[in-house]
Amino acid sequence: MIERLKQFDWQRDGVLVAFGVFVVYALIFQGQVFHNPLVWRNMLSSNADIGLIALGMTLVIIGGGIDLSVGSLFALLGVLGLKMMGDGPTPIGVGWMVGCGALLGLAQGLVITWGKVVPFVATLVGLLVFRSGALVMANGGTFRSENSNWSAVASEGVVIPFVSAANGRPVELYWSAFLFLGMAVLLGVLLTRTPYGRRLVAVGSNEKAAKYAAVKVDQVRVWSYVILGVCTGLAAWVGSAKLNSVPSSNAGQLYELEAIAAVVIGGTALTGGRGRIWGTVIGVLFLGMITTMLVAADVSTYLQGLVKGGIILVAVLVSRGRTRE
């Protein structure tokens, strides 16, 4: 047992412990809030959009890249999808969002690999261009869904058995949460069980070695951006369903940073080559929980950034200690 404890990799898995401590603390000291299953349900579903983006971001970062454009892309895809769908059926809107997300991810991937533009700059351009596109398309305002069924993904779901809210009503877990968790399983399998996942790790860890092992480095990179584009498309679906509309000027604002933060907290190295999907899931929940706790403890919204910033700083310091050795 003590041996096992000694082998515990604090730098990599410390976040698990921290998360566990947080959960226990919340259950004990903020019981009136956290004993309520609705709080957990809401935390999962309201963070599903950020979570979906963070999952894709994990792959991009493991491959040695970064994407700053996802917040703007989120807004653009939301507006675009709602516009193309009109009052038509939901799959059309989703199709447009996911399809265009994949295409724009592909475009950025190509600019980065073929165009040899560093990811930071290429996606910074995306950040500006996509936001501008969203604003133009929505005329600067909020774009509403004309499909009365559109919000279903974020307001309907499956009843969780054996759980009931304080008022005795059953608790539903929304589809959006399932989408997030489902994608996590899918991408987790992709990362750890398929040739693509291994090649991605190889590219991010040692590009030259990957090249010499006959890995098509550029192709692997481009695909990671396409996958992130798809994830952003799904996020746009979930996010626009939450509000039944997309405010073109501030939808997805700072999502890129929040997603990167979740990835880093989850133990994925910003330098690439090392990371895991389930860590990102924990990272997303961690950030979501902190927000919930701060709100529950009546901490001013203005102060929340300070707390989150501090936690991200600690996460990065700890993960850097690992590479320094």
Q: Which of 103, 158, 186, 213 binds other proteins (CB under 8 A)?
A: 213
Q: Which of 1, 2, 5, 214 binds other proteins (CB under 8 A)?
A: 214
Q: For residue 159, list its beta bridge partners.
A: 172
Residue 21 Cβ vs other proteins, minimum distance, rounded to whole Å: 28
Q: Which two tokens stand for residue 3?
A: 């041996």
Q: Which is nearer to other proteins, 199 or 308 (CB)?
A: 199
The count of chain residues that interact with other proteins, using the rule CB under 8 A, is 21
Q: Which of 273, 279, 283, 288 binds other proteins (CB under 8 A)?
A: 273
Q: What is the DSSP string of 213-279?
A: TT--HHHHHHHHHHHHHHHHHHHHHHHHHHHTEEETTTTTTTHHHHHHHHHHHTT--TTSS---HHH
**Per CB under 8 A, does 324 bind other proteins?**
no
Contact between 175 and 152 (Cβ < 8 Å): yes
**Per CB under 8 A, does 202 bind other proteins?**
yes
Residue 271 Cβ vs other proteins, minimum distance, rounded to whole Å: 11
Q: Which of 11, 30, 142, 206 binds other proteins (CB under 8 A)?
A: 206
> How many whole angstroms separate alpha carbon 120 and alpha carbon 122?
6
Q: Which of 12, 144, 198, 322 binds other proteins (CB under 8 A)?
A: 198
Residues 6+ apart with CB under 8 A from 177: 41, 44, 45, 48, 157
Q: Which listed range, 106-114, 123-131, 146-154, 205-213, lies at the site for other proteins (CB under 8 A)?
A: 205-213
Q: Which listed range, 156-164, 207-215, 278-286, 289-297, lies at the site for other proteins (CB under 8 A)?
A: 207-215
The 72-111 contact track toward other proteins, x by CB under 8 A, reads ----------------------------------------
CB count within 10 Å of CB 145 equals 23
Identify the residue whose tokens are 């290429």.
122
Q: Which of 215, 226, 261, 262 binds other proteins (CB under 8 A)?
A: 215
Q: What are phi and psi of 227, to 5 degrees?
A: -60, -40
Q: Which listed range, 44-52, 109-117, 158-166, 209-217, lies at the site for other proteins (CB under 8 A)?
A: 209-217
The 173-192 contact track toward other proteins, x by CB under 8 A, reads ----------------x---
Q: Which is nearer to other proteins, 103 or 213 (CB)?
A: 213
Q: Which of 210, 228, 231, 235 binds other proteins (CB under 8 A)?
A: 210
Contacts 24+ apart (CB under 8 A), 166-173: 166/36, 166/38, 171/37, 171/38, 171/41, 172/41, 173/41, 173/44, 173/45
Interface residues for other proteins in 281-310 (CB under 8 A)?
A: none
Contact between 293 and 308 (Cβ < 8 Å): no
Q: Which is nearer to other proteins, 169 or 216 (CB)?
A: 216
**Per CB under 8 A, does 6 bind other proteins?**
no
Query: Exposed (0-12), middle (13-18) or buried (19+): which is 313, by Cβ within 10 Å?
Result: exposed
Q: Which of 201, 230, 234, 265 binds other proteins (CB under 8 A)?
A: 201
Q: Which listed range, 121-129, 142-150, 199-207, 231-239, lies at the site for other proteins (CB under 8 A)?
A: 199-207
Helix, strand, coil percentages, rounded to 5, for the chain: 75, 5, 20
Q: CA angle, 69 as apex, 316 and 268 as ends, to 5°?
A: 25
> How many whole angstroms separate alpha carbon 152 and alpha carbon 90?
9
Q: In the complex, which residues of this chain contact other proteins (CB under 8 A)?
A: 189, 193-195, 198-199, 201-202, 204-206, 208-215, 273-274
